[in-house]
Structure formats: C-alpha cells, structure tokens
Amino acid sequence: MAELSYREAVAHGIAQEMRRDPQLVMLGEDIASAGGVFKTTVGLLDEFGPGRVRDTPISEQAILGAAMGAAMTGIPVIAEIMFSDFLAVCWDIVANQMAKSRYMTGGQVNIPVVIRTANGGGSRFGAQHSQSVENWCMMIPGLKVVAPSTPADVVGLMAAAVRDPDPVVFFEHKSLLATKAEVPDGEIVEQLGEARLVREGSDCTIAALALMVPRALEAADRLAGDGIAAEIIDVRSLVPLDTQALLSSVAKTGRFYTVEENPRLCGWGAELASIVADEGFWNLDGPVVRITTPHIPLPSAEALEDMSLPTADRIYETVRKTMD
C-alpha cells in the first residue's frame, strides 16, 4: 500500500487501464510532455509514447470530436477538458452527440469515452474557471457522472469509467489535488453507482461529493462533541445514483442533509432531496436541508470565495441549528 496524492492517483489510475488495454488512448491539451496543467498525467508519455498520449490544439470541440470519432470505431478514449467550465464550449458534442448515440442507433454504436475535467472552486481561479458543473451533466440522459473524493476512489472509479461502454464525465476536484491518502497495491476497480459510507451515525445523514466530503467529515467530528452522531455518505456517482444507500441511511437516522458545491438552483442535492421526500418521507423526522453555494458567479477574491463555498463551519452550524 502506497501513499499517493490525488493528482498522482489520476496518473496511476490511467496507467493501470492503459496497461490493461493497449488500444486505450488519451487526448488533451498539454497532457503529454508537460504532464498536464495540473500535473495529473506526469509519466504517461514516457511509458506509453506519443501514439497513445496525444497533445491537442486548444479546442475543446476538436478534442471531443476526435474522441467520439475514435470511440465510434471501437477505440476507447480518455479525453481531458482542462477546466469543467469549458464543457460549455463543446456541450453539443457531449449532450447531443455522445450522450444520444447509443439510443439513436438502437444500441449499434457505443461511445467508450471518459471525459476527465478539473472541477470546483477554492483555488482562486475566478468565475470562469471555478464552477462545479456536475449538475449540468447529471441532467443529460445517456451520460454517467462521477466525482471521487479520495486518491483510492480516483483509481477505482477511473477503472470503472474506462471499462464502461458509455460516455462518463469524470470530475477531478482542483482543491483536492494535493491531498494524500493510502492507495492499495494491485488492480483497483470500483463500481459506478455505488455510494460509500465513510462515517456511521444515528442522528442525521449528510450526503456530500468531492471536496465537500472531507468538510462534512470535519463538521461531523465537531457535531460528535455536541452529542450528534452524523452519518456521512460520499455519493461518488451521481449517474447512476445509489438511491438505496441514501434511503437506507435516512431510514436509520430520520434526518437528511446535502452538502453541494454547485449553486443552489437546480443543484444535484435537489434531486436527492426529491427522492428522499418521495420514497423516504415517512422515515423523516424533519425537513430535508440543503447546504449549498449561493446562486452567484464564484468570486475570485479569497475572502469572498471562502464565504461562498460550504465550509465545515457552515455545515456544523446548519446541522446544529436544525437538529435543535
């Protein structure tokens, strides 16, 4: 077992799959000799060569257009969009072409593409480079959506995404890149659509994703000091979604909170809240509570950005107040 940073785990997970499948290729800006703008692809060019790790022009449409074309011929592709905000530039290819090809060909054409992209705030990149846009992708039928919070999950979910026959959007959180944790030796393969119970509790359930998972855990430590046992669920996969894990937890705790980095309006937590209200209503002892970023462009000013994003303090205070 080795300790890896989140960014090292990205390269580790990609390498695991490229060794397994000699057809798998990578496309993206500065992913080859530069090792990626976030240094998440360091070493891949040296091991797999320029035929499989290919730098592209600064054109999101070109990257995903080439990826889709290759995938339609049976070549699996990992394509990097440098910032998740830039999915807006190539959204037609993602939402209207990749997501719908299997359906519109009656299952004759699969699109085995993993779209890797750096997501989320906290790194002072400003409103056009700091958005959390997983809810954009969650709403499109035909896309699968994952967002790991730990290095081990980066590796395991990367394997699951690459081996899936459908397009998967793989969100890597920029503010988690430097975090470190142990990653088991050998091949790691997770399942899409499985949430992870990261802390057991009996008084309330907190569902979180990516950067919000360690913040929810920090808040849970403080809540424990007040006699509140919070159960923390790392959602990990938004599509497919592990509704059973959420409903089972709510049946035990009677309270449900979501911690979302995306803006409040139409955030992914609204869908989770709807599911819990529809299917777990009689298990609830109080209203579902969503802890979110306000519906604003994310500020680049340090103090304002920190004020906008959900923090461990805000999670603690919200849960403490509503539980009272």
CA–CA gap between residue 67 and residue 78 (Å, rounded): 8
User: What is the average per-residue pLDDT within 272-300?
Assistant: 96
Structure tokens of 30? 């500065």
Mind listing the domains of the chain with CATH numbers? Answer: 2-183 (3.40.50.970), 196-323 (3.40.50.920)
Query: Count of residues for the chain?
Result: 324
* Predicted pLDDT at 268: 98
* Predicted pLDDT at 94: 98
Element (H, E) at 72: helix 60-72
pLDDT in tens, 135-168: 999 999 999 999 999 999 999 999 999 999 999 9
Residue 109: pLDDT over 90: yes
CA–CA gap between residue 298 and residue 296 (Å, rounded): 6
User: What is the average per-residue pLDDT within 119-129?
Assistant: 94
Phi, psi of 241 (to 5 degrees): -105, 135
Beta bridge partners, 83, equal 118
Number of DSSP helices (H) and strands (E) in the chain, helices first: 12, 14
pLDDT in tens, 26-62: 999 999 999 999 999 999 999 999 999 999 999 999 9
CA distances from 182 to 4, 30, 121, 151, 220 (A): 6, 28, 24, 7, 22
* Predicted pLDDT at 1: 83
Q: Are the CB atoms for 284 and 204 separated by under 8 Å?
A: no
Q: Are the CB atoms for 121 and 309 separated by under 8 Å?
A: yes
* Predicted pLDDT at 143: 98
* Predicted pLDDT at 193: 98
Tell me the percentage of the chain whose pLDDT exceeds 90.
99
- Catalytic residue numbers, as ranges: 129
Tell me the percentage of the chain whose pLDDT exceeds 70.
100
Say which residues have a Cβ less than 8 Å from residue 322's Cβ, sequence separation at least 6: 255, 257, 286, 287, 289
Cα 179 from chain centre: 15
Residue 197: pLDDT over 90: yes
Residue 324: pLDDT over 90: no
